[in-house]
Amino acid sequence: MERPWLKHYGSVPHHLSYPAGSMSDAVLQTARRIPDGEALSFMGRSISYAALEQEILSTARAFWGLGIRKGDRVTLCMPNIPQTVYCLYALNELGAVVSLIHPLSAEKEIAFYLAEAKSQTLVTIHQFYDKIQRVQAEYPLKHLIITDIDDALRGIKKWGYRLTIKRKFPKIEKQENLLLWRDFLAKGMPFEPADSAAEEGAVILFSGGTTGINKGILLTNLNFNALALQTAAMAAHPVAGKRILAAMPMFHGFGLGVCVHTALVCGACSILVPRFNVKDYANLIKKEKPNYIAGVPTLYEALTRTDYLDKADLSCLLGVFSGGDSLSIELKRKMDRFLAERGATVRIREGYGTTECVTASCLTPDQEEREGSIGLPYPDMDYCICKVGTTEEVPYGEEGEICLCGPSVMKEYLGHPEETAEALRTHADGRIWLHTGDLGLMDADGFIYFRQRLKRIIVTSGYNVYPSQIENVLDGHQKVQMSCVIGVPDPYRMHRVKAFIVPKKGVEPTEELKQELLDYCKTYIAKYACPREIEFRAELPKTLVGKVAYKVLEEQERTR
């Protein structure tokens, strides 16, 4: 197939070689190569690669002593703390499959995730002990391991945490299947490392996929190891020895794949952030001086609005990456100005991907931007645009479904063979392609443009309207902080376009402002696509990873 994007790669290699082993093999090889290098930074504590290796092996011995063997599935319900990293690679070393879920998930969600993964062992933190006890009433566990942040701290910080925070947590009662972290480690036994192949399943992450129904996505060792090397190749600067701020959670492909695994495979330091708030994040940037930061657009929106970084020196930054949601043109401009005003020599780079290929598989080049484009495919990742519902490719410049093929594409949806077959399709070239369920186009130079998730199309009066395009226009207005556009039932048009808007601080949500925004839209949007209704909100609902939860707004409209 043609690969027009290759001529824009510059110094990025067209093809990479990938390791034949497991995720843990790749990380432990790095640890043995640079034992004195800094692997993790957590709340002021620095953890070397030699110490990381010892912690991984100690944790592997503990899981082995618990009876965990190759093919078993273990769930981590944890924030970004060192124990999450230790458990991930320890279990991978044993050939077990790790399921990562959001610790703030509701009880029934956790029970669902456990059942979908067929997991009998769960590791979580003390803070969520009561919730997990209620989960066990619905889904009994064979093993429950409780750790906490203080298990990763030393000295005065450990005691400070216990005195100010931990004492507020519920008391842990003794029970047959429960082990505290220290007791869990004490049960360690010599283990036999698994001889895991690259193509074997390693991690389960949950996502709605193309249908919006939550499913477990089984990702392989190769998926993660390829993603790490591809990301490093696209970074434009050497990653080894650098520092990456890991605020994206590890239950998300972006956080696990880019902020942790890429860092540890390449010999960088991952600065673990257990919980995001803009003040602490800003202070971490000033204190830790990271070279790379990665986040969703809402994170960058928060940064541009805070005064905590007003006098910060950001010349340390070598890369700023946005993913997980569409980055509006206006926010990109704001963030680029924000970086330049603080001494950074880089601009924000937008990536695109899906959990079905771990995370990013496409990224804006370092030296060449095209407004509105999400960039070029990663090395060894092929993109094509197909007529929706088919495997037929459309010409350059024509919209269709974004499809991709390469070493980071998932193994399957767990327990959903029909949906797996719908997402992974064999094309005329004989290769298996992931159909993303996203609408976009490719120009003649291979630059990709994301338009909209197919399921978010609003059909009004027979016309297709793409909400994100209207949101980009509204977000560009000087009085708008954030917007979300949905289709609401209409007896005449079938659906009409409605916009939910959060005004900027100090702006009153008046009828005059509503009319001003409607008039503004008419300048940029075709008449049939303009909002016919505007509702002001103090805030918009968000998903667990910080995206605007448009489905919540749709449900609210349906039940009115």
- Distance between CA atoms of 331 and 296, rounded to whole angstroms? 11
- Distance between CA atoms of 159 and 180, rounded to whole angstroms? 18
- Distance between CA atoms of 231 and 366, rounded to whole angstroms? 12
List the domains of the chain with CATH numbers: 4-14+210-452 (3.40.50.12780), 23-196 (3.40.50.980), 457-558 (3.30.300.30)
Token pair, residue 395, equals 């010409």
Task: Give mean pLDDT, residues 387-391.
Answer: 95
CB 331 within 8 A of CB 301: yes
Which amino acid is it at 455?
Answer: K
CA distances for 448 relative to 41, 361, 363, 403, 441, angstroms: 35, 11, 9, 11, 6
Return the bridge partners of 220, or none: 201
Token pair, residue 453, equals 């998730």
pLDDT exceeds 90 at position 244: yes
With residues binned 3-state (H G I as helix, E B as strand, rest as coil), the percentages for the chain, rounded to 5, are 35, 25, 40
Task: Give mean pLDDT, residues 181-209.
Answer: 93
Task: Give mean pLDDT, residues 242-267.
Answer: 96
What digits encode the pLDDT tens for the residues 91-101? Answer: 999 999 999 99
Q: State the pLDDT at residue 209.
A: 59
Task: Give mean pLDDT, residues 50-64.
Answer: 98
pLDDT exceeds 80 at position 182: yes
Task: Give mean pLDDT, residues 541-554.
Answer: 87
**Mean of pLDDT over the chain:** 93
CA distances for 78 relative to 33, 66, 95, 309, 519, angstroms: 29, 19, 20, 29, 47
What digits encode the pLDDT tens for the residues 311-331? Answer: 899 999 999 999 887 788 888
The one-character DSSP state at 248 is: S
* 3-class DSSP assignment, residue 212: coil
- Distance between CA atoms of 318 and 236, rounded to whole angstroms? 8
Least confident of 204-213, 351-360, 388-397, 511-520: 204-213
- Distance between CA atoms of 86 and 540, rounded to whole angstroms? 36
pLDDT exceeds 90 at position 167: no
Local confidence band at 208 (pLDDT 50, 70, 90 cut-offs): low
Local confidence band at 492 (pLDDT 50, 70, 90 cut-offs): low
Beta carbons within 10 angstroms of residue 174's beta carbon:
6
- Distance between CA atoms of 245 and 268, rounded to whole angstroms? 11
* 3-class DSSP assignment, residue 228: helix
Of 357, 341, 348, which Cα lies nearest the Cα of 301?
348
pLDDT exceeds 60 at position 211: no
Least confident of 408-417, 424-433, 483-492: 483-492
Q: State the pLDDT at residue 3.
A: 96
Q: State the pLDDT at residue 238.
A: 93
Residue corresponding to tokens 């956790």: 110
Q: State the pLDDT at residue 50.
A: 98
Least confident of 26-40, 72-86, 349-363, 543-557: 543-557
- The residue with greater pLDDT, 178 or 530, is 178
Of 545, 541, 529, which Cα lies nearest the Cα of 465?
529
- Distance between CA atoms of 41 and 47, rounded to whole angstroms? 6
pLDDT exceeds 80 at position 491: no
What order of strands is seen across the sheet that includes strand 243-246?
45-48, 38-42, 269-272, 243-246, 292-295, 319-322, 348-353, 360-363, 376-377
Q: State the pLDDT at residue 528.
A: 79
Return the bridge partners of 216, or none: 206
pTM score, whole prediction: 0.86
Q: State the pLDDT at residue 462.
A: 62
Q: State the pLDDT at residue 298.
A: 81
Q: State the pLDDT at residue 326.
A: 79
Residue corresponding to tokens 């949500």: 509
Least confident of 2-6, 288-292, 383-387, 453-457: 453-457
On the 0-12 / 13-18 / 19+ scale of CB atoms within 10 A, 286 is middle
The fraction of the chain above a pLDDT of 70, given in percent, is 98
Give the β-pairing of 243-246 and 269-272. Answer: parallel
CB 401 within 8 A of CB 388: yes
Task: Give mean pLDDT, residues 164-171.
Answer: 87
pLDDT exceeds 60 at position 413: yes
pLDDT exceeds 90 at position 390: yes
Local confidence band at 225 (pLDDT 50, 70, 90 cut-offs): very high
pLDDT exceeds 70 at position 212: no
What digits encode the pLDDT tens for the residues 98-137? Answer: 999 988 888 888 999 999 999 999 999 999 999 999 999 9
pLDDT exceeds 80 at position 454: no
